[in-house]
Amino acid sequence: MCTQKRAYKFRFYPTNEQKQMLARTFGCTRFVYNWALRLKTDAYHKLQRRLSYEDLSSLLTDLKTQEAYTWLNEVSSVPLQQTLRHLDNAFLAFFEKRVKYPAFKKKRNKQSASYAASAFTFRHGVLRLAKMKDPLDIVWSRSLPAQVVVSSVTVSKDAAERYFVSLLVEEPIPYLTPTDVTIGADLGLKSFVVLSDGQIIGNPRFFRQDEKKLAKAQRRYARKQKGSKNRDKARRQVARIHARIADRRTDFLQKLSTRLIRENQTICVESLRVKNMIKNPCLSKAISDVGWGQFVTLLEYKAGWYGRHVVRIDTWEPTSKRCFDCGHIVDSLPLNVRHWTCPECGIHHHRDLNAAKNIRSVGLTVLNACGEAVRPGAEKAKPGKPQRSRKSKK
């Protein structure tokens, strides 16, 4: 059993008064984020100085006292301070080379505001936010754990103008019963995933199902006059179609990842470089629709919750071209070849099933080597001789 922070997300329907307060809160947090981002960028490029969270917090206090920015005092000060912390975390992720440089927030994108424990009350399923008289009308689609303590609340509105509230709690999560089952998973486009035990899960292609409807809505949106109410209605219609596609894809990935985690002790997957793969002009739309990166992320954090293992193998492993039975590697295997026969041993292979078996085999090797990136046939570095990495060859 481990204690983890877990977020429970629910939809809620605000009153007109709450909508106005939330709109002001979203606007203020967006302004503070963009204002702080501009200050940090200019201070670094012009003055070679890095502004910390404490510096920005002090400057924000001075900004509120200015007559031109007194409207910042109309909302709770907690979401504004939380915005500065989010910006600080965004820069930390950027310096660790996990994300791109922080971008300015836009009004038409997703809006959010975070409340710390001092800015809300939650008792007996009733949630009240600061500066609001009435509690939020939340649709409790699932129950919270008993005697749970909510540490923070995040209220958001997506482009389709749906309101959500996310409750962050810390709860003990019991580990699942250990099992000896280990599988390899080969992610693809024709089939979403092929498992080493022979299971084949098809690719739902959610974007393709609504592609024509989305194109029609986008053409209708493009013809509307800018700034008109009809254009805003058409924009919401496009956003609703995008939300439908994203919700269905997320639901599919959540259910599949949970099932695999519950049934298997170790799951071996290939490290796919999705950002490079979507540069292919013929496959970029299909790769973006399938959601490989999100699926692996779900597997990894759920494995941490329930005491399972997810092993990533090297991207350059020839899992498709290597015969699982004899180990022979063919010189070339185009993508349109779905079945092939090994010229060494004569075994007929299903391309994806053979790859899944090889992924499982290599993943077990990595796992037994205590997490080291071990590949079959890789030469170990000799003492005193530095080992070259792939990055040095580029």
pLDDT score, position 28: 96
Residues 82 and 186 in one domain: no
Residues 69 and 161 in one domain: yes
Domain closes at, from 173, 194, 214: 173
Is residue 198 domain-resident? yes
For residue 51, give both structure tokens. 């502004």
Q: Do 28 and 73 form a contact (C-beta atoms < 8 A)?
A: no
CA-nearest of 34, 30, 28, 39 to 72 is 28
Residue ranges, the chain, pLDDT below 50: 371-394
Phi then psi for residue 351, to 5 deg, are -55, -55
Domain closes at, from 173, 202, 227: 173
Residues 210 and 153 in one domain: no
pLDDT score, position 152: 95
Residues 73 and 162 in one domain: yes
Residues 27 and 159 in one domain: yes
The burial of 161, by beta-carbon neighbours within 10 Å (0-12 exposed, 13-18 middle, 19 or more buried), is given as middle
pLDDT score, position 391: 39
pLDDT score, position 33: 97
Q: Do 167 and 247 form a contact (C-beta atoms < 8 A)?
A: no
Is residue 139 domain-resident? yes
Is residue 393 domain-resident? no
Is residue 326 domain-resident? no
Residues 208 and 283 in one domain: yes
pLDDT score, position 370: 54
Is residue 9 domain-resident? yes
The single residue listed with the structure tokens 């009308």 is 137
Is residue 368 domain-resident? no
Residues 90 and 223 in one domain: no
Domain closes at, from 269, 303, 337: 303
Q: Which positions are catalytic?
A: 186, 270, 352
CA distance 67 to 271: 54
Residues 152 and 190 in one domain: no
Tally of structural domains, the chain: 2
Residue range of the domain that includes 50: 2-173
Residues 186 and 169 in one domain: no
Residues 60 and 112 in one domain: yes
Is residue 376 domain-resident? no
Is residue 392 domain-resident? no
pLDDT score, position 150: 92
CA distance 304 to 299: 9
Residues 89 and 212 in one domain: no
Residues 216 and 162 in one domain: no
CA distance 104 to 35: 9
